[in-house]
């Protein structure tokens, strides 16, 4: 318990969105709280992975044996190439896949569009004992929907309140919500998109639409600022994680997960059977 030893200062303190937060003041190449470089970060990520895995197993066990309803929801939002997929791959792969529920939200289907924007989100919420990871989320409905005017302005306006109510309800039912925006610079995004175009095994990750979206980056930043202003709550905080250095973003998100799990004060569930009695039954079986 306590801050993992490789942090100089608690990154969540720095990364957490608070009153007066301005996205434009965040340095995408920064590594708040971490004094080392890539090498040290990789070692630290492996060290953190063991802590993360044990905490996750206790969360899972508490639900399996004790019906503990608590769970975690990690919401990942970002511009293309910021590294959402890498977080899933390099952070979440440390824990037992049985305990992770992953959901990616792409362009809504016709059926989804017929319902309230939270309808498809509710269907993918993590069960008790699980860690849910949303690759994009209901925030797309106040991000791309706002930038590309996919819904009337008053409808979008009403969604901030709907989101706050929804998240309050989740929180009350035992969901620890961690909302992360991965923040990369325009230069870094250009470099990453170029790399996707250069490599035949990366073409599938590229779409011409990525450049269209990139050209709208200033409007997206405004939309994100509005999201932070309107949906930062004590029970569902936002964290803006500098993501130009992938190794930093992964280590920081891993820390947010560890911190959330440790705050639950988890322990191994107490057996609901007589251990010695079962041992004797087993010995003669």
* Contacts to a second copy by CB under 8 A: 57, 61-62, 64-65, 85, 88-89, 92-93, 96-98, 100, 102, 104, 135, 190, 193-194, 197, 200-201, 203-208, 211, 214-215, 268-271, 273, 275, 278-279, 281-283, 285
Closer of 14 and 61 to a second copy (Cβ): 61
Distance of CA 157 to the CA centre of its chain: 24
Tokens of 3: 């801050």
Residue with tokens 């939200």: 105
Closer of 67 and 229 to a second copy (Cβ): 67
CA distance 245 to 265: 31
Strand partners, 16: 239
Closer of 110 and 201 to a second copy (Cβ): 201
CA distance 27 to 15: 11
Closer of 19 and 285 to a second copy (Cβ): 285
- Strands, E, within 131-249: which ranges? 131-135, 175-183, 238-242
User: Least distance to a second copy from the beta carbon of 121, Å?
Assistant: 18
User: Least distance to a second copy from the beta carbon of 285, Å?
Assistant: 6
User: Least distance to a second copy from the beta carbon of 218, Å?
Assistant: 12
User: Least distance to a second copy from the beta carbon of 53, Å?
Assistant: 9
- Strands, E, within the chain: which ranges? 71-78, 100-104, 131-135, 175-183, 238-242
Closer of 16 and 124 to a second copy (Cβ): 124
Residue with tokens 């109510």: 165
């Amino acid at each position: 318990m306590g801050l993992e030893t490789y942090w100089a200062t608690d990154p969540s303190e720095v990364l957490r969105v608070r009153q007066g937060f301005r996205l434009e003041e965040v340095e995408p190449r920064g590594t708040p709280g971490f004094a080392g470089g890539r090498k040290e970060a990789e070692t630290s990520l492996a060290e953190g992975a063991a802590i993360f895995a044990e905490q996750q197993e206790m969360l899972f066990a508490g639900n399996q044996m004790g019906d503990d309803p608590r769970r975690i929801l990690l919401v990942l939002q970002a511009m293309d190439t910021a590294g959402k997929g890498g977080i899933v791959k390099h952070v979440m792969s440390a824990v037992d896949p049985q305990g992770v529920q992953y959901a990616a939200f792409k362009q809504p289907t016709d059926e989804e569009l017929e319902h309230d924007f939270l309808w498809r989100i509710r269907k993918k919420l993590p069960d008790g004992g699980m860690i849910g990871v949303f690759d994009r989320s209901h925030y797309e409905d106040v991000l791309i929907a706002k930038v590309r005017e996919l819904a009337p302005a008053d409808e979008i306006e009403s969604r901030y309140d709907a989101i706050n109510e929804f998240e309050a309800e989740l929180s009350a039912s035992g969901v620890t919500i961690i909302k992360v925006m991965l923040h990369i610079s325009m230069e870094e995004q250009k470099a990453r998109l170029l790399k996707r175009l250069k490599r035949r095994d990366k073409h599938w990750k590229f779409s011409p639409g990525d450049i269209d979206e990139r050209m709208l980056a200033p409007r997206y930043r405004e939309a994100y600022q509005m999201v932070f202003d309107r949906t930062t709550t004590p029970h569902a905080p936002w964290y803006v994680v500098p993501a130009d250095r992938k190794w930093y973003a992964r280590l920081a998100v891993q820390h947010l997960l560890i911190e959330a799990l440790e705050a639950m004060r988890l322990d191994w569930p107490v057996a609901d059977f007589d251990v010695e009695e079962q041992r004797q039954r087993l010995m003669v079986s």
